[in-house]
Each structure stands twice: as structure tokens, then as C-alpha cells.
Structure 1
Amino acid sequence: MQSPFIVELNQQNFMQVLESSKQTPLLIHFWASVSQESTEIIPHLQQLAQNYNGAMMLALLNCEQEQSIAAQFGIQALPTIALFINGQPVDGLGGPQPVEAVEQMLAKHLPSQEELNLKQALELVASGEHSQALPILVTLPADLINRGDVKLALADCYIEARDFAQAGTLLQSIPLEYQDNYYKGLIAKLELHNQAANSPEIQSLEQQFAIEPDNAKLAQELALSYHQVNRDEEALELIWRFISRDLNSLEGEMKKSFMDILSALGQGNTIAGQYRRRLYSILY
């Protein structure tokens, strides 16, 4: 398996790889083709290294080809697994072991998979890749999601996804010690949205519509104004009031606006899904 987290140990790179454990924990797997158990576990260890995504390096040492290195470590049984941190052995396993035993050993010294996922998500947010970070963040366990820094990252992702309601709820629950410049920047973005979402133009349309609640043209104009500032649920509900009574309202223009908003929201949007089902119920 080609991976930046996996290396084959030999005389030429041995000292350099061992020295690297001062920066990144190093798991050395001593194996030989004559030991079936030592070869069978290699793919599992490789997958483990991939899962740790750089939080650990895996080094494979073929004891048949590199007998002098194996001798230096005094290897008595195969497979043997040794974990090095800061250049020193801190833990290990000798003899055939299930991969679960290796996972348990690593868990004592390395971050959990959830912590690694969080680290990856925060790096994605920092690099502006919010759409990739959000699915990772929402699957974290509750104890991590409730951390102030994680709530800020989630709020950031929701703002970028234009889910301002979710972002606002999260920002209201940020502990005082996390109300830093990052927090203030997110609050400012939310306030800008809220100001646009309740512009004088929209307020004027709302006042006119309150006087003429059966004016379909006015309703459509107000709904499209809502959509422009991401008040999509209100936009869809407003149009639905008319097309549910007359699918051909405004000679089909209302239905077209409805479909355009659904299309803009995309297939995965929960609100869009609800209104699609309503529409299908009167179409079919």
C-alpha cells in the first residue's frame, strides 16, 4: 500500500525513521514470510495507519531481509509490534495478536479516532473547506460537539452553508472564554445577514401583502425577496398557500418560482424535501 504514513525499514533509513518518532509516534511491525500470522496482520496495520491519518507512522521490518536490525532489538517471536515515542519504546506486543489488541495498545498513547476526526475537520474549516468539514463535525460525539471551539467551527460551517438559524442557535451558547475575535467575526456575519433578511424593501412588501393577502403577484414578489435573503421556508410556504389552491396560479408562474427555489436548495435540504412531498401529493 502506497502511503505517506507507511514505510519499509532497512539499513539505509533505519536511524532516520527511528529519529522521526521524536515528532510522530512510530509503530514498528517485525515480520517474516515464514510467520503467517505476521504477514496476515500487515493489511490491518496499514489500514490502521491510514485511519490515524498522520498521527502515527507505521514501519514494516522484514526480519529475513534485515536480520541485523531485528537482532539489535532482540526479537524473540514473530510477529512483534513496538511503539516508539520520542525515540524511545513505550509499549509493544509479542506473538500473534488480533488487530483489536493493537488498537487497544495505541489507544493508550494516541488520540482517539473522534479526536483525529475533529482535528481534520478543524483543519478543513481553517482552510475554507467548510462543506467538507460539516459532515465530519455533525457526527462527533456529544462531549466534543459541546466544546466551545467545536461550536464555533460548526457555526462557521452553517453560515457558509447559509443555514443561519442553526448558526445563530450555536452562537448563543458559546461560553464566555470562547468569545474571541473569531466569535465576533461570526456574529458580525450573522448580523449582516439578519439586516439584509429584514430590509426596508421586504418590510414594505410585507405591509402591502397584509393589506392584500389574496394578491398572488404581490405574494410571489415577497416570496422571491425572502428567497434572495435565504428565508426559504417562508418563501415556500407563501407560494404554497396559492398553488395548493390553484396549481396554475399566475398562469403557472407561481409553480415555476416554487420549483426554482426547490432546485436552488438541492436534493439534500430538509425543508425542500418537505415541500417536494407536498407538491407531489397534488401532482400525482
Structure 2
Amino acid sequence: MSQHAIDVSIADFDDKVLAASRRVPVIVDFWAPWCQPCRILKPILEKLAAEYSGKFILAKINSDENQALAMRYGVRGIPAVKAFVGGELVDEFTGALPEAQIREFLDRLIPSPAEPLRREALSLAAAGNLVAARQKMAEAIDLDPRNDTAYLDFIQLSLDLGTPEALSEASELLAAVADRVRDQDRAAALKARIEMAQTASGVDLAALATRLERDANDHEARLQLANALALRQDYRGALEHLLEIVRRDRKWNDEAGRKGMLKLFTLLSAQPQYDDLVREFRIALARTLN
């Protein structure tokens, strides 16, 4: 048995689980000698405890001998695995999951070694140093290639930088990781932003505005202007132009106005500060179409 896997009872639960979880995640395995799935799960958990080498503690509790603990934590079937962090139950699963799924469960709980670098990169970005921020975020990814958040942060920083090279790198990286990251909403929002950036690359706002002054039905100019405004995070301006396309000719270019608004809604849905704006234009779009 690994030194990171211990037997726990009700007598030492508070010390070995609750108190210990304030220092490192503690994974509690409720099992019983007669339980066949427990025999399947137990060696997997012990193997991972040894492999992760102190990044979490495995606490094994015989539920038959510690029924009060099992009742306290709502154990209705075994094996029942419960994760404690900071003295609190934060996640759980029941049954003998495959090793790959258990690794995913653990990785959600265990702080990434790249987290200090990721936070440093975000601080650099907040100070306006996007080049250094991207470099620092790349270091975080190199240190922990499984850190999904760092990949998405790097893509966002690349879009914020706005150079053609950064945009190309963001697009290629998102295509590589989009299917595997857990935060699919954020990945979808970044994809929408990349598509708008690609459409708006090299756009002359003044020239587009002049075209619209000459012909308010120049929908191509209006669409390019909307994408350019969205790229500059003027989302209200972008939505107003897209809605105007819908009002003037909803069928134009395979409903490009409506589809552009939906793409922006996807982009903004991952950012709660824009909830009111999205709601306002969803209503406006519905009224225009009906």
C-alpha cells in the first residue's frame, strides 16, 4: 500500500480527512469486503495515489464498520468515492469508473503546478503587456500540458493581441484542443470571436462608414463593420448593425445578419456582464423576425 493511501475510521475521520483536506485534497473510498466493484476500484485508486505521489490522499473507509459515517455522507451504494477540499465535500461519484475517468475526476480537484504561472500571465495582461502575458502563458502550458484553462487563456490573449500571427496561432490551437477541453461554452465563444476576427482582419472602419453613408443598403459593408466593431469589443454597435441587416433584408446572404447575431450571442454568453445586452437584442431579433 502507498504511504498516500490510508485506512480511516470514524475515530480519526475528522483529523485524517477533514483537517488533512485543508492541506491537500482527500479522496474517500467507501467500500465493503463483500463488494465486487469495490475490489475492482480499490487497486486503481491505490495505483493513482502512488503515481500522484502526495498530490492527494486516499482515505479508505469500510462502510460496514463505519455506518454512521456512511449515513452522514449519504452513501447509498458502494463503492462511493467522495472528494474533500478545505474541509468540505466538493465532488463525488459512485461505482467502479474506468481509470481514465478517475484521472479526470482527480485532475479537476488537484491544483495544477502551472497555476502560479497562469495567474502571473493574467496579471501581465491586465497591466497591458500582452506579449509578455502570452509568453508566460505558454510557459504554463509547457509545465502542465493538461491544463485546459491555460490553453483557452492563451487563445484569448492571442485574440486580444490582434496580430495576424497571433490570430492564426489562436485558430490552430483552438482547433487542436476544442474537443477535449471541459469548458465547451468558453471554447465556443472563442471560436465565434476567431471567426469574427478573421472576417474583420484589415478592415478600414472609416471607409465602411463612408460606404454606408452613400448606400444604407450596402449590407456587405454593414456586415464587415459589425464584425470589426465586435473585434474591438463594441458589442452593442455590432449587434445594432447586424439587426439593421435583418430589418432591411433578413434573407440577404443566407441570413447573414441573423446568423451574425447568433454568433455574437454565443460569444457573449460566456461573459455574465453582457447578459442584459444579449437579452435586449434577443428580444429585438425575435420582434424583427415575427
TM-score w.r.t. the length of structure 1 is: 0.39
More helix by share: 2
TM-score w.r.t. the length of structure 2 is: 0.38
Q: Which has the larger radius of gyration?
A: 1
